[in-house]
Copies of this chain bind each other. A is one copy, B any other.
Amino acid sequence: MTTPNAKKARTTGIGLGFGFSLLLSSVAQPVFGQELPTMSEDAFEGAKQTYFEQCAGCHGVLRKGATGKHLLPEVKVKNDDGTETVTGTLKLGQDRLERIITWGTEGGMNNFDGILTPEQITDLATYIQIDPPKPPEMSLAQMKETRKVYIEPEDYPTEPLHGRNWENFFVVIERDVGKVAVIDGDTKEVLVHIPTGYAVHVLKASEHHSINEPENPGRFWYTMGRDGKMTKIDLWQKPENMLVAEVKIAYDARDVAVSGDGKYVIGGGYWPPHFAIVDAETMEPRKVVSTRGMNVDGEYVEESRVAAIYTTPHEPTWVVAIKELGQIWQVDYSDIDNLRIDKIDNSKFLHDGFFDPTGRYFQIAANASNQMVVVDTKTRKLEATIDTKALPHPGPGANWIDPNCGPVGGTTHLGTGYVTVWGNDPVNRADDAWKICYEVETDGPGLFIRTHPNSDYVWADQTLHPEPEIQQSVQVISKETGEIVKTIQLTETEGYVAVHFEFNQDGSEVWASVWNRKDSKTDNGEIVVFDAQTLEEKYRIKGLFAPTGKFNVYNRSNHKT
C-alpha cells in the first residue's frame, strides 16, 4: 500500500498556488519511504467489511472520528509553539491496537473478544493503519434502480387479514441477521421474521399527533438498515406478506421517518452523507439532499452524517440531525421542489433524540460534546443546551413527572454509569426547564432508557460496561424517589448482554432483550417480559436472532414515552 500513500503525499497540499498561505490539512499522509503495514487484497476487503459492520458507526468510514476517536494512520497537529505533535494508528502500532479492539476501553469503546475472531482483530488492527478507501457516491437514478415492490399499493387490504390486536404488535430488530420479527404482544407469538436491511437501527410509523392525521397510524412501518436499505411493512397483511416494498438510499445509514401528512418517507445516509425523500406509498425516491457542509466551528466536513430523523408533530417538517456538523436541519416537506431547510446551529456529534410530551421541543444528545441539545420546532431555532456527564445516549428516551421538578426527560450515557434527568416544561415550570433535576448513579454505562405514563418506574440498561454481570443486568429507577429500586440480571450466558426496553400497549408489561452477541446469527436470543408493577419476570420469548430494539405499535405511533 505504499504507492497510494506516496501518491497522496505527493499531491497533498497542491493548491491553486496564488499567494494564499494554506494551513496544512490536519490529516497528513505517511511520507515517502516510511515502513507501512501491508495486507493481502482479500484480508483488506474482509477487514473493510468488518470495519463497516462494527466500527464505522462511531469512527466514520473515512475514520475521522465522531462518537469514537479518529482512526487515521497519521495526524499532525500544530502546537502553539509551532512544533508538531504526531498521533494516529501508526504510532499506536499493531499490538496496542489489537489489545484495544479485544478488551475495549473505559471511555465507551466496546470489547470485541468473543465477537470477532483473533484473525479478524489482527486484520482490523492492520486495516486501520492503512489509508481509508473512499466509498463511492450514490445518485437518485441509482437509488431508483434498487426499488423492489412485492405488493402493489392497489392490492393492499382494506382491513387486517388476521384477527389479531395489531396495535399491540411488537416489531423487534434482529440485528445481525438483517431481519425484524413481528411478535403478537397479547399472545407472545413470533409471527414472522421479515428480511430487511442489515442491522436495522430504527423503525418508524406515522403518528397520531401528525398535523394531518393519517388513517390507522401504526399500520405501515418503515425500517432503515445499516446498509441503507429501507423497507416498508404492512401489519394488516398475513405475516408472510408483510414486506411490501424496499429501496436502497445509501451504503451506510441509520434513521428513517415518515412525514406528518403520510406522503413521504425520509431516509438518512451515513455514506454518502445525504438524505433521500421517498414516496411513502410507492417507495419511489423523489429527491436527494447532500449533508456535506461546514461544521459549527467553520471547518468543512466531507463525512457529515445524518443521525436521528424525526417527524415534528406540529409542523410540516422533519428534524434531521447532522452529526459532525453540529446542526439540526429542520426540513420542510410541504414543497420539496422549493425545499425550505432551517439550519439550526448547536453542538457537534449529534446522535439520537426524542420529543418532550407536548411534541414541540426535540431533545437530542450531542454525545461527544457531553450535552443534550433542545430545539424549538415551532420557531425552528435552538432552545437550550444542557451540559451532562460523558456521552449521553437516550435511545427512545423517557419523559415523566417528577415530584420536585415537574415534567422531566432522562437519558443514559455511553461514557459513564449515570442516568441524567432534566426539567422539560418551559411553559409551566420555567425555572426548572432545561436544567438538571437530578442524576442517578447506575452500575455502568448504557444505551437505553424507557418508561410509560402508566408505570411508576424508569428502566435503564448498562450494556457498555466491560464486566459480564453488569452488561447482563438492567436497573429500575423509581419516579417517586429517583432511586434505584431493583437490579435484574437477565442472563448469565457468557457473551450475552441485556439491552433495550419497550412497554406493551397499556403499560402493564416491560419487554427487555437478551442480546446473544457471541452467537448472534443463531436464534438463541430472548425477550424477557416483566410485570411493570411487581417487576417480576412473567415470560421469556425465545427463538429470536440477536433481538435489540423493540417497537410497540400503539406506543410508538402515539408518542407515549
Q: Which residues of A contact B (CB under 8 A)?
A: 3-4, 7, 10-11, 13-20, 22-23, 25, 45, 48-49, 52, 61, 133-143, 146, 198, 227-228, 248, 251-252, 271-272, 274, 285, 287-290, 292-294, 297-300, 335, 337-345, 380-382
CA of A20 to CA of B49, assembled, Å: 13
Nearest B residue (CB) for A51? B16
Query: Of B15, B136, B228, B343, which is within 8 A of A338 by CB?
Result: B343
Instruction: Tell whether, in the assembled complex, residue A293 and residue B294 are in contact, meaning their CB atoms are under 8 Å apart.
Output: no
CA of A17 to CA of B300, assembled, Å: 27
Question: Which chain B residues border A290 with CB–CB below 8 Å?
Answer: 292-294, 300
Instruction: Tell whether, in the assembled complex, residue B274 and residue A140 are in contact, meaning their CB atoms are under 8 Å apart.
Output: no
CB distance from A479 to the nearest CB of B (A): 34
Instruction: Tell whether, in the assembled complex, residue A18 and residue B227 are in contact, meaning their CB atoms are under 8 Å apart.
Output: yes
Instruction: Tell whether, in the assembled complex, residue A343 and residue B345 are in contact, meaning their CB atoms are under 8 Å apart.
Output: no
Cβ-closest 9 pairs across A and B: A140-B298, A7-B7, A14-B133, A290-B293, A338-B381, A137-B300, A288-B294, A339-B343, A139-B299
Nearest B residue (CB) for A304? B290
Nearest B residue (CB) for A286? B298
Contact (A298, B287) CB under 8 Å given A3-B7, A338-B345: yes
CA of A442 to CA of B337, assembled, Å: 37
Nearest B residue (CB) for A229? B20
Question: Which chain B residues border A134 with CB–CB below 8 Å?
Answer: 11, 14
Contact (A20, B146) CB under 8 Å given A7-B7, A339-B343, A340-B380: yes
Question: Which chain B residues border A292 with CB–CB below 8 Å?
Answer: 290, 292-293
CA of A140 to CA of B300, assembled, Å: 9
Instruction: Tell whether, in the assembled complex, residue B10 and residue A4 are in contact, meaning their CB atoms are under 8 Å apart.
Output: yes
Instruction: Tell whether, in the assembled complex, residue B382 and residue A338 are in contact, meaning their CB atoms are under 8 Å apart.
Output: yes
Number of copies: 2
Instruction: Tell whether, in the assembled complex, residue B20 and residue A248 are in contact, meaning their CB atoms are under 8 Å apart.
Output: yes
Query: Of B20, B140, B248, B298, which is within 8 A of A141 by CB?
Result: B298
Query: Of B25, B342, B380, B382, which is within 8 A of A137 by CB?
Result: B25
Q: List 17 A-B contacts (CB under 8 A).
A: A3-B7, A3-B10, A4-B7, A16-B49, A16-B61, A18-B49, A18-B198, A18-B227, A23-B142, A139-B297, A140-B297, A141-B298, A143-B298, A274-B294, A290-B294, A338-B342, A338-B344
Question: Which chain B residues border A135 with CB–CB below 8 Å?
Answer: 14-16
Nearest B residue (CB) for A146? B20
Instruction: Tell whether, in the assembled complex, residue B340 and residue A342 are in contact, meaning their CB atoms are under 8 Å apart.
Output: yes
CB distance from A169 to the nearest CB of B (A): 30
Instruction: Tell whether, in the assembled complex, residue B11 and residue A335 are in contact, meaning their CB atoms are under 8 Å apart.
Output: no
Question: Which chain B residues border A20 with CB–CB below 8 Å?
Answer: 146, 227-228, 248, 251
Nearest B residue (CB) for A288? B294
Question: Which chain B residues border A381 with CB–CB below 8 Å?
Answer: 335, 337-338
Instruction: Tell whether, in the assembled complex, residue A52 and residue B287 are in contact, meaning their CB atoms are under 8 Å apart.
Output: no
Question: Which chain B residues border A297 with CB–CB below 8 Å?
Answer: 139-141
Instruction: Tell whether, in the assembled complex, residue B141 and residue A15 are in contact, meaning their CB atoms are under 8 Å apart.
Output: no
CA of A162 to CA of B252, assembled, Å: 64
Contact (A139, B341) CB under 8 Å given A17-B48, A146-B20: no
Question: Which chain B residues border A287 with CB–CB below 8 Å?
Answer: 298
CA of A440 to CA of B522, assembled, Å: 76
CB distance from A340 to the nearest CB of B (A): 5
Nearest B residue (CB) for A252? B16
CA of A142 to CA of B22, assembled, Å: 8
CB distance from A55 to the nearest CB of B (A): 12
